Structure 1
Amino acid sequence: MIFCGTASRTCGAGAVRPRSTHPGERYDDTLFVVFKTVSYVEHEALTATSEVVDTGEVMIFLGSHFAITVRHGQHSALREVRARLQQDPDLLRLGPSSVLYAVADRIVDEYLRVTIEIEQDVDEVETSVFTPSRSQDIGRIYQLKREILELRRSVAPLAEPLRLLSGRRLTVVHEDIWEYFRDVHDHLTKVREQIAGFDELLTAILQACLARVTMVENEDMRRISAWVAIAAVPTAIAAIYGMNFKHMPELHWQFGYPIVMAVIIVICLVLYRGFRRNGWL
């Protein structure tokens, strides 16, 4: 197998470590494609530090008579791809292009599976935010948004290479397989739309959560203010009689003490009832 000089240098310098460059490059009669792989990280409960998405890479050098893959990440194994090709002689007859298609199809299918799992996490967060009991959801929402952003960064760069593979005449890609790549591109478009929907929904959930926190804080402030107002009544009356004035006739009156206590109780009850009626208590 002979590569052109540029492709050989790229393989030696970049294929042994993860790449973050453009996912598709062409070197004369050799095509170099980088696929970002993703897998869903299982967790008992979503927290503010939960890892939801793990990423890796599969790099493919494709020529007219060869296909070389380099993998990074434990979830980038291609045993299923090999088994599928062996079970489909018609696809395998299309040459190395069938390997490129099978890898792309398998990775995009994994994108779909990951979005299904993430959808459950989004539903869980949404349900938690709108439950009557208080919960600390803001950190979980931010964490899930970060994980979805990581998923988007893995998925989005693949759109343009798949579009080119499905409609551009490349000498290293068999013409009979262009339709297959169109199908993969359609699936990728669906994944991107789902990810965008998750992000928009989480933004709305976050805004609702912040609004709920503000509302709860306002309710707490009203409740505190109501109790302070009620407590101010006996405090004020006790302060008046605690100044030890000499000329306070009711101090020597037989019914002075019970009347003062009754006044305090009545005023406090009236205030309590008023606050309850207005929803402050």
Structure 2
Amino acid sequence: MIIDSAVYRHGARLPVDCPPQDYATLRAQAKEHGDFVWVGLHEPGEAELKRVADAFGLHRLAVDDAVAAHQRPKLERYGDHLFLILKTLWYIDEQDAVETGEISMFVGSDFVITVRHGEGGALHSARHHLEQRSQVLTHGPSAVVYAVCDSVVDAYAQVIEALQEDVDEVEESVFSPTRSDDAVRIYTLKREIAEVRRAVLPLREPMRRFASGTVPGMDEGAAPFFRDVADHLARDAETIDGLDSLLSTAFDAYIARISVQQNDDMRKISAGVGLVAAPTLIAGIYGMNFEHMAGLDWSLGYPITLLLMALSSGVLWVFFKKSGWL
């Protein structure tokens, strides 16, 4: 469905007397040099997006990609307009899950069409913030592209910050004195970090091109703004690599700790067997029912035998205690 549509002139929103879905009339209102239309759609159907494509002359292949919404971040040129795809991210802390959406942008000299899929990446706040900065909005469609990219990349930072907290919790749990089962959570976090990486890394090349000011159709004056977005994206990429390395190290430490714990358990089991083995040996000898055995006719033989069994266990217990087996 259509979320919002507007015509902008000299950095200000113009009042337009037509329905939001009357795309042809909207575009006709952008009559002066520098005027442009911004139409925002959320999960439109194929028929609705086709009406937009007919009004603005969008390429069929780009429209198909926008409808499918399963593309990697990329920047392509189709005739006289650009087609940009960004992945949106948001974090569900209770599930340690990173959810993804997608924003497709069609950018022409007098229009910007944003097609959003998923619950994250709402552009209402980005539009409102941009409308408060008329000086930036005078850059035309380039300003909208910057505002959307900046909003999406800021959301990446929030997701990465949440992942950082979870990775810190995993590290604390792995190296805590209490036993814990962290393997499943480590795997889950590594999988979510891979999801973030698939959104962040491919986007660096489009941002680099925007920042260099070499993309036809984009205002060269907007290049410094895109350099700021590119810097944030590079920082996010480095942080993601660092988190992935930390999780790999934590998993190795977890496996090593499990091995040490198993060795400790085996030592304790062996020590317990040793404590029982010595008395069992003495009891076994005196349970053979031979006729000629030392101490059979001795009245103190039974208590001394019990004392010998207790003494042998005591000596072994002291030895194992000093050795750290108990």
Question: One fold, TM greater than 0.5?
Answer: yes
**Partner of 2:30 in structure 1?**
none
Query: Are positions 1:274 and 2:319 aligned together?
Result: yes
Query: Are positions 1:32 and 2:83 aligned together?
Result: yes
Cα displacement string for residues 115-172 of structure 1 (whole angstroms, at most 9, x for unaligned residues):
1111111111111111111111111111111111111111111001100111142231
**Partner of 2:243 in structure 1?**
198
Match of 1:52 among 70, 89, 97: 97
- TM-score, normalised via structure 1 length: 0.93
CA distance in 2, matches of 1:51, 1:209: 19
**Partner of 1:47 in structure 2?**
none
2:244 is aligned with what amino acid?
D
Aligned positions of 1:1-281 closer than 5 A: 7-21=58-72, 23-43=74-94, 50-281=95-326
Q: 1:15 to 1:165 in 2, by over 3 A?
A: same
Asked if the contact 1:122–1:202 (Cα under 8 Å) also holds between the matched residues in 2, the reply is: yes
Structure 1 unmatched ranges of 5 or more: 44-49
- Higher percent of residues as helix: 1
CA distance in 2, matches of 1:92, 1:108: 19
CA distance in 1, matches of 2:129, 2:231: 21
1:95 is aligned with what amino acid?
G
Question: Structure 1 vs Structure 2: percent identity of aligned residues?
Answer: 45
Asked if the contact 1:223–1:280 (Cα under 8 Å) also holds between the matched residues in 2, the reply is: yes
CA distance in 1, matches of 2:64, 2:175: 51
Cα distance, 1:261 vs structure 2: 0.9
After the TM superposition, which segments of 4 or more aligned residues of structure 1 sit over 4 Å from their partners? none
- Higher percent of residues as strand: 2
Asked if the contact 1:166–1:182 (Cα under 8 Å) also holds between the matched residues in 2, the reply is: yes
- SS of the aligned residue for 1:136 comes to coil
- TM-score, normalised via structure 2 length: 0.81
Asked if the contact 1:17–1:72 (Cα under 8 Å) also holds between the matched residues in 2, the reply is: no
CA distance in 1, matches of 2:60, 2:79: 14
- SS of the aligned residue for 2:113 comes to strand
Structure 2 unmatched ranges of 5 or more: 1-26, 28-52
1:28 is aligned with what amino acid?
G
